[in-house]
Amino acid sequence: MADELYSLTIHEAAGMLRRGELSSVALTEAVLDRVVAVDNDVKAYLALTPEAALADAAAADALFAAADDPARLPALLGIPLAVKDVILVEGVPTTCGSRILEDFMPPYEATVTAKLRAAGAVILGKTNTDEFAMGSSTENSAYFTTHNPWDLSRVPGGSSGGSAAAVAAGECLGALGSDTGGSVRQPAGLCGVVGLKPTYGRVSRYGLVAFASSLDQIGPLARDVTDAALLLNTIAGYDPRDSTSMNVPVPDYRAALTGDVRGLRVGVPREYFIDGMQPQVEQAVRAAIDTLAALGAEVVEIRLPNTEHALPVYYLIAPAEASANLARFDGVRYGLRHPDAETMWQGYTMTRGAGFGPEVKRRIMLGTYALSAGYYDAYYLKAQQVRTLLKQDFDQAFQQVDVIACPTSPTTAFKIGEKADDPLSMYLADVFTLSLNLAGNCGLSLPCGFDAAGLPIGLQLIGPAFGEGTILRAAHAYEQATDWHLQRPMLNNMPAD
């Protein structure tokens, strides 16, 4: 059985640990062996910390052995997890997928990883990401491209592609990612796992390297909805070190998983079923909505009329905030410093020219232009005004419905290199996910089928602010009525289940 331990869900492994049927060291060793077996092909990890992971696993086993009632121990105790490499883990390199932070060692811990450690989770290492989380395919990483475990010639999505691929391939039992315009949900959809973007302010961003500060949010990736709820239970909550953190009570999200959606009003926005969508994606998503209806949900067609403006609004606001946030990478305080610079200004330009990749430079230039004198009102200010209209669309929709159902992505995973020379086509990969970041709402992607090539299709469920319990409830009910989440990719001619 040892060679199959990596395929366990978090809640399955947690139950075995509590019953004494499994040790955390054995579980962690099985997952690390899985990484050795498949990561040369998948390339999910930028940094692996096996010695520290096994030490944490041994400490977890000691707690289990000493406990009078193991059932009262934290749900994540002894569970091997991965962390996207834009989230600081003290003493573990954090590169953000960029050469400009190639040798950066963070001197402090992010709140979310501190919470994982406090819960006894075993952190295996840092996963690959598009540089500074700017991308939809993980091809923008300065180090290498992560491959989709379902088809190694295809992208895993982005920017949390490393985390999604690691979960799908059995290289961890769960992971953290960050979502600025879909970067948890889109790779979750393309890799056939569950990805949840919490409400803005629900999870602390302290220790998350900022891309776009009014949009960024940390969220979990997992094999099923129950695991996503368990991870969110641990990382959610108020943090005074994050000025955007909301002091709102955190419910027990697992308690929301009742399996009952009778009377739940599910909105279907016509604007999210567009020309150019892959037909099999639309078919699978509509079939999933029919399943929710068969379970007792009430399906209602709704309108989100300003949806067509979301993409240009996002690509004005996000690059503008990125141009301000990334100004701190100047070769003076930390990270890369170009050795040939003789003056301060040369240091800035040469360091940033050598350290940033082409997509990051593109977005910095877009953002700087949008914020420049003479263009601020015409571009950035106007985008913020339209952002308000997008939020109002959602607010009005949630007066009619409890949850919105739509595709996660217009297509399944595309070939590596297919969109590399067409930035606009790449940006369109997030057309269904970025609206709710602009509105600050919560959203979740879960598997709802496969296309003719055997690639996963994601169903996106969107909730109002702090409506995580509702979308988890709907997702869990759908998941229990289907078996898409039980499917695993084949790697090294060996099934992952």
Q: Any idea what the Cα angle at residue 172 is, between residues 170 and 175, rounded to 5°? A: 125
Place of tokens 């084949």: 490
Q: How far is CA 380 from CA 69, 114, 305, 429, 439, in A?
A: 56, 36, 21, 23, 16
Q: CB–CB of 331/415 below 8 Å?
A: no
Q: Which among 41, 24, 289 has a CA at the least distance from the CA of 168?
A: 41
Catalytic residue among 23, 24, 178, 183: 183
| Phi/psi of residue 100, nearest 5 degrees | -70, -20
Place of tokens 């883990």: 89
Catalytic residue among 7, 43, 84, 391: 84
**Residue 159 is among the residues annotated as catalytic for this protein:** yes
Calpha distance 205→176 (Å, rounded): 12
Calpha distance 239→494 (Å, rounded): 43
The amino acid sitting at 231 is L
| Phi/psi of residue 26, nearest 5 degrees | -65, -40
225-235 and 111-118 are packed helices; what angle lies between their axes, rounded to 10 degrees? 110
**Residue 213 is among the residues annotated as catalytic for this protein:** no
Q: CB–CB of 199/441 below 8 Å?
A: yes
Strand residues in 242-377 grouped as ranges (E): 265-269, 298-302
Segments in 67-204 forming alpha helices (H): 111-118, 161-169, 185-191
Instruction: Tell me if residue 278 falls in helix, strand or coil.
Output: coil
CA contacts within 13 A on the Cβ side of 266: 29
Q: How far is CA 59 from CA 12, 73, 274, 422, 477, in A?
A: 20, 13, 52, 49, 36
**Residue 197 is among the residues annotated as catalytic for this protein:** no
161-169 and 24-42 are packed helices; what angle lies between their axes, rounded to 10 degrees? 120
Catalytic residue among 24, 136, 159, 160: 159
Calpha distance 268→425 (Å, rounded): 25
298-302/218-222 β-pairing: unpaired
Q: How far is CA 245 from CA 198, 199, 205, 216, 253, in A?
A: 12, 10, 8, 12, 18
Buried/exposed code over 232-251 (b: 16+ C-beta within 10 A; e: otherwise): bbbbbbebeebeebbeeebe
Segment holding 19, helix H or strand E: none
Assigned token pair, 352: 């940033």
Catalytic residues: 84, 159, 183
